[in-house]
Amino acid sequence: MKTFIKHTIKSTLFLGACMAGFLSCSDDDDSSNNQEEIIVQEDLRLDLTAFTKADAGVMMQAFYWDVEPIGGWYDEVSSKIEDWSASGVNRIWLPAPGKGASGQFSMGYDPMDYFDVGEFSQRGAENKETRFGSRQELENLIQKSHDNGIEVIADIVLGHNSGGGLQSNPFRGGTEVYSLFNEENGNASGKFNRTNEHFHPNDIHSNDEQALFFAETDLCHDQQYVQDWLWGRDDSVAEFYKNTLGFDGWRFDYVKSFAPKWVKAWNDKVGGFSVGENFDGNQQVLKDWVDASGSPAFDFACFYRLEESLDRNKDLTALGEEGNMLRKIYPDKAVTFTANHDTEKDENVNNSISYSNKLLAYSYMLTHDGYPTIFYLDYENESFKDAIKNLILINRTIATGDIEIIEANKDEYIMKRNGNGDNPGLILYMNISNNTKQYEIQTNWSNKTLVDYANNSKLTPVTNAEGNTTIYAPAGSFSIWSIGKEQ
């Protein structure tokens, strides 16, 4: 059934200028002086799965800080796998699997025994599991993921260790530090035992070229023994995670604490997908690290431009600037995100995107290039879930082709994906003002009825022979336009 809505252009002068060919006109929508009718129809959307891209996929960060239930997280994630796979997730990123110094309270970022993934009693603890579960539960999760077409990414902490026994370090003037890792001291597996010579300072140097992080137990990768056990040996950490446990790739934690050449060495030896956490909003810093490591990186520059634009400055202009994100420089090396375990636990409001702007941020990320990462707490939030699933569908189908930025001002950001072949592409219209906005635009589609695939506007504008029409975006929201069914 068709229904009709009266829609107005604010002034005849505005309408006349736009129709005369000045297709950069934007204005607030005002329905009080309607001069034209636009059809509203519910059933015009195409089946987007017909446009599924060969390289489609998004990564799910499958944890948040201090996950619950303790000891049951792998099983909790396992229960989500079918739904995630159906939504288009092709990788999940799990927390560091090795036993941490804080036992079942550890989120994995205080690595003690890389080879204990939930099967050894450590330091008097009777419960062998990590915070996330047992080794068997981890292997079950990896197998279920593979059965559903999902790769599994391990978080790798190469920079520092925690939880060893006290040992005098001659390079620290005899000061005792927690650098002794053996069967009696934080390394029940008996593999990759460590002493003070494997940390900084040592007989090679006082520190590497990167900033020290947990200086007393900062691993020295220039020590051949450290390289061998981490990735060089046939029974190394990397080989154990990949060939025994079944992990498919790596997320390298805090890469500022060691040289990028060590990421390259790891990847050259064992392969697999990888991404580095270079926690820096400067796109040049990210580019330099990608160049040196050969690995993709999380696009913190994109994340901070979104946070600044949506929250801090409330101005979308920066989204249109050239080269201010990694994805604008190296789209194939940029792993984009709108939240992660660190940003969501940090009370600094300038280090996270506000709840009210989350979907706006996802609309940007999932319509642009780069490899998107979805945050568990956002996807599993019932207020966001349907919208994010729909945006993932858009990402894996019509979010394709060259990117053309049409407008970027304080209130509006409009971007066109030009599609390719039979794929029509899309137009994203973000609006952070308090009023509905409209924009006269030249599209790539002649004599077509358009539909908002974000489901935020019921209007169905029609393009003329030159592809010109008016598109709309609700207040504080977004629309994603593409062609609808033929009438």
pLDDT, mean of residues 22-41: 49
Distance from the first to the final alpha carbon of the chain: 13
CATH classification at residue 463: 2.60.40.1180
Give φ, ψ of 350 to 5 degrees.
-85, 5
User: Which among 4-18, 116-130, 464-478 has the top mean pLDDT?
Assistant: 464-478
Tell whether the model's pLDDT for residue 347 goes beyond 70: yes
Report pLDDT for 11.
32
Domain holding 24, by residue range, is 3-49+403-483
Least reliable range by pLDDT among 213-222, 363-372, 463-472: 213-222
Task: Please state, rounded to an integer, the average pLDDT across all residues of the chain.
Answer: 91
Residue 175 CB-density burial (10 A; 0-12 exposed, 13-18 middle, 19+ buried)? exposed
pLDDT, mean of residues 71-83: 98
| Domain closes at, from 363, 395, 427 | 395
**pTM of this prediction?**
0.91
Whether 437 and 289 map to the same domain: the answer is no
Tell whether the model's pLDDT for residue 24 goes beyond 70: no
| Domain closes at, from 342, 365, 395 | 395
CATH classification at residue 227: 3.20.20.80
Report pLDDT for 206.
85
Whether 443 and 350 map to the same domain: the answer is no
User: Greater confidence, 38 or 95?
Assistant: 95
Percent of the chain residues topping a pLDDT of 70: 90
Report pLDDT for 243.
98
Give tens-digit pLDDT for 288-331. 999 999 999 999 999 999 999 999 999 999 999 999 999 999 99
Report pLDDT for 41.
53
**Per-residue pLDDT band at 223 (split at 50, 70, 90):** very high
Whether 437 and 348 map to the same domain: the answer is no
pLDDT, mean of residues 355-374: 98
Whether 77 and 40 map to the same domain: the answer is no
Report pLDDT for 126.
67
Write the Ramachandran bin of 342: left for phi over 0, alpha for psi from -120 to 50, otherwise beta.
Answer: alpha
Report pLDDT for 74.
98
Whether 74 and 189 map to the same domain: the answer is yes
Whether 320 and 428 map to the same domain: the answer is no
Whether 355 and 423 map to the same domain: the answer is no
Whether 69 and 41 map to the same domain: the answer is no
Tell whether the model's pLDDT for residue 461 goes beyond 50: yes
Report pLDDT for 40.
52
pLDDT, mean of residues 333-349: 91
Whether 70 and 88 map to the same domain: the answer is yes
Give tens-digit pLDDT for 154-174. 999 999 999 999 999 898 888
**Distances in whole angstroms, Cα of residue 393 to Cα of each of 48, 95, 122, 313, 456:** 7, 26, 45, 30, 16
Domain count, the chain: 2
Report pLDDT for 14.
36
Tell whether the model's pLDDT for residue 36 goes beyond 90: no
Report pLDDT for 8.
32
Tokens encoding 64: 């948040």
Tell whether the model's pLDDT for residue 197 goes beyond 80: yes
**Distances in whole angstroms, Cα of residue 447 to Cα of each of 29, 326, 429, 462:** 23, 37, 20, 7
Tokens encoding 111: 């690595």
Round to whole Å and give the CA distance between 145 and 18. 52
Query: Could you write out the DSSP letters of every residue in 263-326?
Result: HHHHHHHH--EEEE------HHHHHHHHHHH-S-EE-HHHHHHHHIIIIIS--GGGGGSTT-SH
Whether 262 and 173 map to the same domain: the answer is yes
Whether 134 and 11 map to the same domain: the answer is no
Report pLDDT for 309.
98
Tell whether the model's pLDDT for residue 95 goes beyond 70: yes
Report pLDDT for 124.
57
Percent of the chain residues topping a pLDDT of 90: 83
**Distances in whole angstroms, Cα of residue 169 to Cα of each of 178, 185, 202, 426, 454:** 10, 16, 9, 61, 60
| Domain closes at, from 368, 395, 422 | 395
User: Greater confidence, 451 or 125?
Assistant: 451
pLDDT, mean of residues 7-12: 32
Round to whole Å and give the CA distance between 459 and 196. 68
- Cβ contacts of residue 13 below 8 Å, gap of 6+? none
Tell whether the model's pLDDT for residue 419 goes beyond 90: yes
Residue 99 CB-density burial (10 A; 0-12 exposed, 13-18 middle, 19+ buried)? buried
Report pLDDT for 346.
80
Task: Annotate 420-454 with b (16+ C-beta within 10 A) or e (fewer).
Answer: eeebbbbbbbbbbeeebbbbbbbbbbeebbbbbbb
**Per-residue pLDDT band at 125 (split at 50, 70, 90):** low
Report pLDDT for 432.
98
Residues constituting the chain? 487
Whether 341 and 468 map to the same domain: the answer is no
